[in-house]
């Protein structure tokens, strides 16, 4: 495969041009660009083409970034909330001003639909910064009394926070962590996923342009074992927020335990979509097809469809009709519905789940293989939207997160709510659940029994930043969003004041 194109004349060194947008490929540490002796190649999932050579961070850059965040922390923590909020609004303004560029770069880097980036993702990035800036100014807890004494709760900034983010929605999920951490008065070291590092670099430019002091926001690029591990093991780090896999979370937790660093983990899921016999089946089919969004690379996706037996065929007919109308291909095309998977290794992983399921007796009603002929180069990573039936509850494809455009279909007996709940809760995960129902009381009854951080009823992916977000069981530890984010990125303090002993009382 050919190397990345050389830097065009007039651009500084260490700069790649992505969809006509110049992107600095170095780390961002203490308000300046920092290079590394080695690099790694970032490829586009659209066609496999190399995009850029990215500075490959090690313990050296990790230590420098944490030192910069620690040095900047006292000043940032002491910055009045109104000033911090104004700076975050300035970052949001920068995101809005460069939304088209960010969308183009993100699509080239992670393969998600360009139209989705333009219409939903980039507006959400700016909203994340604005929301937490405004929430900071409204943060309060009513004083309360104890035997004549006054209790006053306050949020003290915790210190440097290491944020490790995934590749499926790089900028949006990064801003979901960065915005509350900075609003809370903590400083940040971001380690973006090595498969999608580009928009994190652009965001660093925007924080600088917005006026954030040096060291308040830092970016270290690289692999988890080379850059991520020294960050999570650093004794000066005071918070770690990670979105990714359960095995990686185990390693982070072990490293953090040595210094008692609080962690927030969002670790994916294997969420159910329950379709009850009294549901609007057209709505249910729409919800099911929506699970193919972003080529199925969504942690919240309801990949296990559980249908009340009497409506299986009626639901399935509607579902298959809708899937047949989906268009898979280049995510830069406005008419495309499903783009590529992130990486050739990921396509192999997804296909491995399906092949093993089929070998064990499952049936692929649709899909079941990589898609071909969808890109201009042989390196495109496309997998057909797939529905697998005839699966056992304890089978691998039901129990493990595939993270691709692969759904399973199971049924439960009519009226058997216990069995529906048993199947829905029958994995080690508990991130989300979706319920299609026509009867409010029945929906409430079943929803109350589902083990999940979020339950959607007759809808999907409706998220308010004021709501708590996180998972149960192996889907994570802790909650972020709204005041829960400030609770995590701060040390809560209660000041108890006695009514007497004062020399200045009247």
Cβ contact 233:258 at 8 Å? yes
pLDDT digits (tens, 9 = 90+) for 354-369: 999 999 999 999 999 9
Using the predicted structure, report yes or no on whether residue 140 has a pLDDT greater than 50: yes
Q: 3-class SS at 24? A: strand
11 confidence band (pLDDT: 50, 70, 90):
low
The least confident of 24-28, 489-493, 498-502 is 498-502
pLDDT surpasses 70 at 4: no
Residue 377 has pLDDT above 90, yes or no: no
pLDDT category, 2, cuts 50, 70, 90? very low
Active site residue 459: no
453 has pLDDT over 80: yes
In this structure, how many other beta carbons lie within 10 angstroms of the beta carbon of residue 20? 8
CA angle 129, 124, 471 (to 5 degrees): 90
**Two tokens, residue 65:** 């970034």
Interval 51-72 mean pLDDT: 97
Look over the chain and give the mean of its residue pLDDT values, rounded to a whole number: 94
- Which one of 106, 194, 266, 480 is the catalytic residue? 266
* pLDDT computed for residue 380 by the predictor: 73
pTM for the complete prediction? 0.93
Q: Known catalytic residue: 266? A: yes
Average pLDDT of the segment spanning 23-35 = 96
Asked if the model's pLDDT at residue 8 lies above 60, the reply is no
CA within 13 Å, CB half, 397: 32
The b/e string for 280-298 (b: 16+ C-beta within 10 A; e otherwise) is: ebebbbebbbbbbbbbbbb
pLDDT tens, residue by residue, 217-247: 999 999 999 999 999 999 999 999 999 999 9
Element housing 202 (H / E): helix 198-210
Predicted local distance difference test score (pLDDT) of residue 7: 52
List of residues 6+ apart from 247 with CB closer than 8 A: none
Distance CA 143, CA 84 (A): 24
- Among the listed residues 299, 308, 401, 480, the single catalytic one is 299
What mean pLDDT do residues 377-395 have? 88
Residue 303: predicted pLDDT: 97
Is the pLDDT assigned to residue 505 strictly greater than 80? no
């Amino acid at each position: 495969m050919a190397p990345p194109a050389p830097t065009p004349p007039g651009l500084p060194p260490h700069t790649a041009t992505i969809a006509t947008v110049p992107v600095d490929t170095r780390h961002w540490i203490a308000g300046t660009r920092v290079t590394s002796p080695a690099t790694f190649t970032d490829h586009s999932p659209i066609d496999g083409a190399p995009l850029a050579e990215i500075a490959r961070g090690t313990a050296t850059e990790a230590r420098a970034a944490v030192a910069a965040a620690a040095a900047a922390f006292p000043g940032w923590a002491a910055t009045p909330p109104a000033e911090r909020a104004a700076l975050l609004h300035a970052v949001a303004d920068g995101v809005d001003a460069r939304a088209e560029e960010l969308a183009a770069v993100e699509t080239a880097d992670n393969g998600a639909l360009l139209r989705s980036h333009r219409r939903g993702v980039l507006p959400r990035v700016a909203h994340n910064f604005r929301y937490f800036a405004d929430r900071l100014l409204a943060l309060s807890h009513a004083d309360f009394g104890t035997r004549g004494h006054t209790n006053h709760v306050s949020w003290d900034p915790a210190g440097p926070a290491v944020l490790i983010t995934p590749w499926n929605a790089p900028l949006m999920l990064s801003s979901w962590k960065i915005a509350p951490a900075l609003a809370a008065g903590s400083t940040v070291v971001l380690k973006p996923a090595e498969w999608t590092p580009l928009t994190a670099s652009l965001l660093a430019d925007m924080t600088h342009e917005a006026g954030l002091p040096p060291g308040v926001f830092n970016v270290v690029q690289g692999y988890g074992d080379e850059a991520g591990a020294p960050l999570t093991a650093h004794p000066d780090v005071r918070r770690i927020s990670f979105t990714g896999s359960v095995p990686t979370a185990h390693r982070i937790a072990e490293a953090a335990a040595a210094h008692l660093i609080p962690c927030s983990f969002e670790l994916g899921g294997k969420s159910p979509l329950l379709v009850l016999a009294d549901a609007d089946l057209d709505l249910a089919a729409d919800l099911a097809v929506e699970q193919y969004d972003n080529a199925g690379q969504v942690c919240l996706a309801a990949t296990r469809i559980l249908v009340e037996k009497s409506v299986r065929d009626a639901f399935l007919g509607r579902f298959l009709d809708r899937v047949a109308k989906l268009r898979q291909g280049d995510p830069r095309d406005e008419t495309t519905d499903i783009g590529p998977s992130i990486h050739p290794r990921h396509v192999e992983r997804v296909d491995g789940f399906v092949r093993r399921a089929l070998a064990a007796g499952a049936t692929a009603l649709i899909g079941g293989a990589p898609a071909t002929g969808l890109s201009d180069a042989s390196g495109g990573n496309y997998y057909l939207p797939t529905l697998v039936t005839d699966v056992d509850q304890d089978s691998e494809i039901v129990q493990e997160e595939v993270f691709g455009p692969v759904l399973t279909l199971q049924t439960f007996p009519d009226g058997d709510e216990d069995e529906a709940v048993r199947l829905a809760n029958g994995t080690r995960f508990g991130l989300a659940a979706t319920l299609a129902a026509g009867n409010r009381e029945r929906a409430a009854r079943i929803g109350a029994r589902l083990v999940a951080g979020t339950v959607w009823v007759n809808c999907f992916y409706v998220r308010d930043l004021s709501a708590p977000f996180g998972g149960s069981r192996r889907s994570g530890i802790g909650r972020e969003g709204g005041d829960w984010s400030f609770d995590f990125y701060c040390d809560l303090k209660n000041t108890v004041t006695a009514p007497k002993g004062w020399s200045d009382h009247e």
